[in-house]
Amino acid sequence: MRQATWMWLLALLPVFACTGCVGLGIAPRLAKRSIHQAASNMELHYEQVLYDLAMIADEPTSLPVYAPTYAGTPAVTDNAQIGSNTVLQHFVPANIFEGFAQESMNPQLQRQDVENWSVDPIIVPEKLEAIRAACQWVIYGPERATRDHPGLLFNPDDFPPEDRERHFNVADRMSALPQSWLRYERRLHPPRGAAYAAHFGDMWAWVTPEGVQGLADFTLVIQNIARVDINSLTLFSIGMRTSSFSFLTLDKEQPKGQVEATVYVDPLLFLTPDNPYFRWRIEGTATNASLRTQISTAGLR
């Protein structure tokens, strides 16, 4: 009898486990999952940055990898069902087993937790070079960082209007980073006492709790580079605009009436293109990130 009671209790356990009365309701569960997922985003940024720093510490010319998270979808799905199976039997000729044979009950409970992140990797070369230069600044110092691309991290207003390169204007922030916040070395095992750590091969990069301030500030720099629209005019040196210039010309030989020509000129009256040259790039060719995560959560792709 005692064993039968335990059996009943076991059968009812899943029923209670997934009800709101024990604090495992679907809505509180979703809230909890959302908080956990959102909290992991910060660590994801930190560890991406540390991974890039380890990569540059291993080989300064490496191309970093960085993929900002654009959208995430936590979802919780509960499913409860109960089935019953009754067996009645009839024998010819009749015997003592005639009639009811057995009854079975099949309760079933299911919970699905789904979480996802949608990431858009950085693919434009200027951003990759800028992230590499920022990492080089931290590991090897500003001189090494500005050797290959002198103006990449500096203010675009400091360059002449003829300059058509992109300038990410993060040098001031880089200069303001605390000293010695990052540690890196080749080692076989993870460092002890590290708040955050990442490795590329046997090269480890980590920060202690005191260095988190520097890591956070540097993450802001990398996010600044990664999330700015690559075609934003804030990255370019903006010079004096061109002016339209109209003048009349006439055909003496075969009069066609009055011909007015309009061209664009610079202040010295040199004919110039009406729009200055920019290397417009494609970025974020992907579909809408929020929609993408929802489709993925629904299992449609």
Partner 1 sequence: MRRVIFPLIAALACTGCLSVSLKNHTERQIHSLAKYREQATLECLAVVADNPANLPPFANLADGVTQIQDTLSLSATTLFARSASAFGFSQQAIQPLVSRSPKVQWNLAPVADYTQLEALRCACRWVVYGPDEACDECAGILSDPQTDLSPGPHFGVAARLEKLPHGWLHISKGHIPPVGDRCRAHFGDTWVWVLPEDMPYLNEFMLVLLDISTLNIGQANQNPTETPRVLVHLTVTQKTEDTPHIYDLSPASVSDYKLANDLQRMVKGKVLVFGLSAAEIQRLRLSLNAPFVLSEEDYVALVEQNLDPKPDRKEIARVVAELARQPQAFNLETYRGARSALLQAGIAEADVKTILAKMEDPSNPVRIVFGRRAEYLEHLKKLLPAMAAVTRERVADVAQFSASLYSVFNFSRVSGLADAGLNPEQIRLLRADRNLDLPFVGTPDQFVNKLLDVLGENRGNVALVSLLQKVAAAARTPIVFTYSKELSFEQERLLRPEYREYIRDMIQAAVPGKPVEISWEQWMVMTTPFHGARSNVRPDGSVTTPVTTPVRPATLRITPLPDLLGPPRPRMETLQELPGP
Interface positions, 260-289, toward partner 1 (CB under 8 A): 260-264, 269-287, 289
Note if the bond before 107 is cis, omega within 30 degrees. no
CA nearest 40: which of 114, 120, 116? 116
Query: Site residues for partner 1, window 190-219 (CB under 8 A)?
Result: none
Q: In whole angstroms, what is the distance from residue 228 CA to residue 66 CA?
A: 14
Of 47, 163, 165, 217, the residue at the interface with partner 1 (CB under 8 A) is 47
Q: Which amino acid is at 15?
A: V
We find the least distance from the C-beta atom of residue 234 to partner 1, in angstroms, to be 16
Stretch that binds partner 1, among 66-74, 138-146, 170-178, 189-197 (CB under 8 A): 66-74
Pull the structure tokens for residue 271: 């004919």
We find the least distance from the C-beta atom of residue 219 to partner 1, in angstroms, to be 14
Q: What are residue 167's phi and psi, to 5 degrees? A: -135, 125
- 3-class SS at 180? coil
Please give the DSSP secondary-structure letter assigned to residue 299.
Answer: T
- Interaction pattern, residues 108-127, with partner 1; x per rule: CB under 8 A: xxxxxxxxxxxxxx-xxx--
**CB-nearer residue toward partner 1: 31 or 269:** 269
Q: In whole angstroms, what is the distance from residue 156 CA to residue 278 CA?
A: 14
Stretch that binds partner 1, among 31-39, 150-158, 168-176, 202-210 (CB under 8 A): 31-39
- Contact between 19 and partner 1 by CB under 8 A: the answer reads no
Rg of the chain, C-alpha, whole Å: 33
Query: Site residues for partner 1, window 234-253 (CB under 8 A)?
Result: 241-242, 244-245, 247-253
- Interaction pattern, residues 70-109, with partner 1; x per rule: CB under 8 A: x-------------------------xx--xxxxxxxxxx
Burial class of 34 by CB neighbour count within 10 A (0 to 12, 13 to 18, 19+): middle
We find the least distance from the C-beta atom of residue 112 to partner 1, in angstroms, to be 5
We find the least distance from the C-beta atom of residue 179 to partner 1, in angstroms, to be 28
Number of residues that bind partner 1 (CB under 8 A): 106
We find the least distance from the C-beta atom of residue 101 to partner 1, in angstroms, to be 6
Q: In whole angstroms, what is the distance from residue 78 CA to residue 93 CA?
A: 49
Please give the DSSP secondary-structure letter assigned to residue 202.
Answer: T
We find the least distance from the C-beta atom of residue 63 to partner 1, in angstroms, to be 5
Q: In whole angstroms, what is the distance from residue 31 CA to residue 254 CA?
A: 81
